[in-house]
Chain A
Amino acid sequence: MENTNPFHYEGELSWCPGCGDFQILKSVEKTLTSLNKKPSEVVLVSGIGQAAKLPHYIHANGFNGLHGRALPPAFGIKAFNRDLTVLVTTGDGDCYGEGGNHLIHAIRRNIDITVIVHNNQVYGLTKGQASPTSEVGMVTKTQPYGVVSLPFNPIAFAIAMDTPFVARSYSKEIDFTAELIRQGVETKGFALIDILQPCVSFNKINTYQWYSQRVYKLDNTYDPTNRVKAFEKSLEWGDKIPIGVIYRSQRQTYDETLDRLGIKPQINPAHNLIQRGSSQGVMCGVNTLPDLSKVKSLLSEF
């Protein structure tokens, strides 16, 4: 059967068979299809890692940058063109390790993007070293006596940063994950979705079986707008691991900050359509040139 999903990519995927990334890809595809957006209106931004390959496997715009540096270009893209829907696909190493500093500040800015972290608690691309979320005691080739550093708790961290949307999912729950991503995209401001994902090649601890025995979905009795309760929930880990929307809040987004400052969007196809006479590619213009009379007025200041 032909796939009619406009975001569907036909081509080879280079993940290991059985990898949770396939499930996340399906979830992202499902979300994008449900958004009523065209592929040209979506940008997937990533750094480096197995998760960072995802933009190549979706039919949309992509920016596959440097290891740990997915969030800064995502900021640049979204700030310059606020009409774009920007999703970041990143991993625990990319986002919580190499690029940890950017996570703090991207949340502070409250740029309106959705960050999907493929959290497999191990480094996949470099073949099995510990990641910032690996459990204490996990033995790898570079931690032969076991991991000693405490794992990073992204959920607790994000709540502490008053992130507008904080969720956790499990990759096997494809529809559930897709729904969380959709809610993240629709949230005004920064959305962090940490997705627990088995690594069939290198993580022999946090397996499908391990997760399936532990994860449970939060029900209606849980109120994600209560920050203290959310923080309590974020500490729940071990025999029972909650998945779902863990925290929600509201504060001024970066877009709104720009609006308040009077910085206008510079690409606005609806208002700035320049038809350039070709049936093949109707191109929208971008205001790239400054107002010369205004520039001239600066001279008088010197």
Chain B
Amino acid sequence: MSFDISIKIAGQAGQGIQSIAEILLKVLKLNGLHVFAYQDYMSRVRGGHNFMQVRISDSPVYSIKEDCNILVALDTNSVDVHRNEVPKGGAIIYDPHSTMVDSPDNRFIPIPMNNLAKEAGSPVLSNTISAGSILALLDIDKMDAEEFIKKQFAKKGEEVIGKNLKALAKGYAYFLENFRNWKFTDIKAQKKNKTILINGSEAVGFGAIAGGCQFIAAYPMSPSTGVFTYITGKAKEFNIISEQAEDEIAAINMALGASFAGARAMTTTSGGGLSLMAEGLSLAGVMEAPVVVVNAQRPGPATGLATRTGQEDLEYVLHIGHGEFPRFIFAPGHHEEAFFTTIHAFNLSDKYQVPAFILIDQYFADTYATEKEFDLNKVKAISYQPSVVSTPYLRYKITKDGVSPRAYPMQGDFTFIADSHEHTENGHITEDGEVRNKMVEKRFRKLKGMQKEFGKPTYYGDKLVPSGSEKGKAKTVFITWGSNYGVVRETVDCLKKQKRSVAMLHFNRIYPFPRKEAVSLLKGAKEIITVENNYQGQFGNILKAETGIEADRKILKYDGRPFTVEYILKRI
């Protein structure tokens, strides 16, 4: 029997929501189950109200649900906020000694987590107690959890491992002893499934390493910090120079210096940090310096909602930097796509000597999902350094495809200048109108090649038929980009079960815009609905500008929270 259950772990910042979720997610993954988890948190280190949603299924899951089958409430407030999201037959786990519950019904499962933790050796073990009880409730063998704990606490020594194992066993046993008859659902381990459990930040960071990143400079800012942290954690192992810059202006300019010297360079930022990088990005444009820029979006303007999600920077990234210059913009839809897109971004930025943007958002960065193991042979880092350059070396040689040979200092006996001014073929300042025209045209000639590269939109849903015939083609097409891939895909699945003729068209590469593909894939659609996390329907506007196609309807959300299938269904 197939199953699809949701768990919400709620409490204050600092109460250990993440510790509980971590054990749970790893163990579920080891059992071959598919999980999808999203953290909703406030911009504070202690207190407030945060929660983690974990969805578990025997088939792949791509989004979160509004309601949950199991609530783990770590404080009284969490019970009050979420109790109505748990339907009859669901479970609410809480500690009766620390959490006040008005009129508990048969959904409530009191577990004295603090007392059990003290018995196991320390009150800090209460998270492991909770994890033990949840696993018992889900009827999942605790052996994998034991293995995980041994690995997780290996550095902390035998004593810590021992205490945690004891706590896990206590939480597990307490549930079985007191709620043995509580039958929840048939969760069956799928041990044959080999998956990885990865979050969006890690997927991009891992992609950067696989793409040959050699230099990263960034300034910490939520929700982009995770990518920077992941890469920095591997810097020593992969010989990557990682520097925390004094500000985002420095970060982008450091990356451009490294790029000039021959590095595969990148930076990561969000919101305000991206604004600070605007001039540096313009410099990358005129210097034709490869650089990968990861922008993890959050709602603005200004500080906006610092720890929440949005897709408000699309039109900004399309134009960021004064003057005109070509660029790549990618907005991957899921973690596997993000991994490969990042490798492509490094390769393409190098090949065309243009900045490549990767747009993610808080929802995407912080979401954990199980995915099938990435096939590392599918995309590889490719370097486009020239093997020979002419004498004298012309860094900005006018070429047919717009791409000039890019060499680095000390690769040979030549010298060259990279300049922020308009320049001649050898990089020197010029104000000559004719040279200027030739340079602008050379830079934009790259677009022809760029247009043919990686990043075609993904069509999901009713099968496509050869053009000319409309039979079998979806009547309603949802258009989306970036992190909304999963939720729209599940919306399509849901509507198809209702015999509706629907499909999704998801855009990863947004610039150069895949115009031909968009036009051909949307041909014959009766209704086009855009789904975006912003107020203006920015992608819809770009679609209209690029193709003349206008969406019939826009489903927009800008409250800083991600879409759910329920939310979309209510609006169609």
**Given A40-B410, A73-B256, does the pair A281, B388 have CB atoms closer than 8 Å?**
yes
Question: Within 8 Å CB of A72, what residues of B?
Answer: 217, 245, 249-254, 257
CA A262 to CA B239, docked complex, whole Å: 8
Partner of B411, one of A69, A79, A284, A291: A284
Interface flag for A26 (CB, 8 Å): no
Interface flag for A1 (CB, 8 Å): no
**Given A64-B420, A80-B214, does the pair A292, B376 have CB atoms closer than 8 Å?**
yes
Contact across chains for B376 and A76 when beta carbons are under 8 A apart: no
One digit per residue, 1 when the CB lies within 8 angstroms of any chain A CB and 0 when it does not, for chain B 374-400 equals 101000111101111111010000000
Contact across chains for A65 and B256 when beta carbons are under 8 A apart: yes
**Given A64-B420, A281-B390, does the pair A76, B265 have CB atoms closer than 8 Å?**
yes
Interface flag for A144 (CB, 8 Å): no
Contact across chains for B417 and A299 when beta carbons are under 8 A apart: no
**Given A62-B417, A63-B417, A79-B243, does the pair A276, B388 have CB atoms closer than 8 Å?**
yes
Interface flag for B373 (CB, 8 Å): yes
Interface flag for B450 (CB, 8 Å): no
Which of A100-108, A160-168, A208-216, A230-238 contacts the other chain?
Answer: A100-108
Interface flag for B234 (CB, 8 Å): yes
Contact across chains for B250 and A299 when beta carbons are under 8 A apart: no
**Given A61-B417, A102-B246, does the pair A286, B383 have CB atoms closer than 8 Å?**
yes
Rounded to whole Å, the gap between the CB of A36 and the closest CB of chain B is: 15
Per the 8 Å Cβ criterion, residues 12-58 of B in contact with A are: none
Interface flag for B409 (CB, 8 Å): yes
Contact across chains for A280 and B283 when beta carbons are under 8 A apart: no
Interface flag for A146 (CB, 8 Å): no
How big is chain B's contact interface, by range? 35 or more
Which of B204-212, B499-507, B552-560 contacts the other chain?
Answer: B204-212
**Given A79-B241, A264-B239, does the pair A286, B262 have CB atoms closer than 8 Å?**
yes
Contact across chains for B413 and A38 when beta carbons are under 8 A apart: yes
CA A65 to CA B212, docked complex, whole Å: 25
Contact across chains for B237 and A283 when beta carbons are under 8 A apart: no
Which of A52-60, A130-138, A221-229 contacts the other chain?
Answer: A52-60
Interface flag for B442 (CB, 8 Å): no
Which of B131-139, B181-189, B195-203 contacts the other chain?
Answer: B195-203
Contact across chains for A65 and B262 when beta carbons are under 8 A apart: no
Interface flag for B260 (CB, 8 Å): yes
Contact across chains for A75 and B257 when beta carbons are under 8 A apart: yes
CA A76 to CA B210, docked complex, whole Å: 21
Contact across chains for B261 and A84 when beta carbons are under 8 A apart: yes
Interface flag for A141 (CB, 8 Å): no
Contact across chains for B409 and A84 when beta carbons are under 8 A apart: yes
Rounded to whole Å, the gap between the CB of B404 and the closest CB of chain A is: 14
Rounded to whole Å, the gap between the CB of B410 and the closest CB of chain A is: 6
Contact across chains for B212 and A289 when beta carbons are under 8 A apart: yes
A298 to B, closest residue via Cβ: B206
Contact across chains for A76 and B261 when beta carbons are under 8 A apart: yes
Contact across chains for B239 and A263 when beta carbons are under 8 A apart: yes
Partner of A64, one of B197, B240, B419: B419
Interface flag for B255 (CB, 8 Å): yes
Question: Within 8 Å CB of A284, what residues of B?
Answer: 410-412
Contact across chains for A48 and B417 when beta carbons are under 8 A apart: no
Interface size on A, residues (CB 8 A): 66
Contact across chains for B254 and A290 when beta carbons are under 8 A apart: no
One digit per residue, 1 when the CB lies within 8 angstroms of any chain B CB and 0 when it does not, for chain A 135-155 equals 000000000000000000000
Contact across chains for B236 and A262 when beta carbons are under 8 A apart: yes
Partner of B260, one of A73, A101, A288: A73
**Given A72-B257, A84-B261, does the pair A281, B389 have CB atoms closer than 8 Å?**
yes
CA A299 to CA B378, docked complex, whole Å: 14
Contact across chains for A61 and B198 when beta carbons are under 8 A apart: no
Contact across chains for A105 and B246 when beta carbons are under 8 A apart: yes
Interface flag for A258 (CB, 8 Å): yes
Contact across chains for B241 and A66 when beta carbons are under 8 A apart: no
Question: Within 8 Å CB of B265, what residues of A?
Answer: 76
Question: Within 8 Å CB of B256, what residues of A?
Answer: 65, 73, 76
Question: Within 8 Å CB of B409, what residues of A?
Answer: 40-41, 43, 61, 77, 81, 84
Rounded to whole Å, the gap between the CB of A16 and the closest CB of chain B is: 17
CA A161 to CA B250, docked complex, whole Å: 19
Contact across chains for B236 and A261 when beta carbons are under 8 A apart: yes
CA A263 to CA B239, docked complex, whole Å: 5
Partner of B246, one of A62, A101, A286, A296: A101
Contact across chains for A290 and B381 when beta carbons are under 8 A apart: yes
One digit per residue, 1 when the CB lies within 8 angstroms of any chain B CB and 0 when it does not, for chain A 267-282 equals 1010000001110111
Rounded to whole Å, the gap between the CB of A250 and the closest CB of chain B is: 22
Interface flag for B490 (CB, 8 Å): no
Knowing that A61-B416, A72-B251 touch, tell me 19 more A-B residue pairs with CB under 8 angstroms: A40-B415, A55-B417, A60-B415, A62-B417, A62-B418, A63-B417, A65-B420, A66-B280, A80-B214, A80-B258, A105-B245, A264-B239, A286-B383, A288-B214, A288-B264, A290-B209, A294-B237, A296-B376, A298-B234
- Which 6 pairs of residues, A with B, have the shortest CB-CB distance? A76-B257, A73-B257, A72-B253, A76-B258, A62-B417, A302-B196
Spell out A's residues near B (CB within 8 Å).
Answer: 11, 38-41, 43, 45, 48, 53, 55-56, 59-66, 69, 71-77, 79-81, 83-84, 101-102, 104-105, 109, 258, 261-264, 266-267, 269, 276-278, 280-286, 288-292, 294-296, 298-299, 302
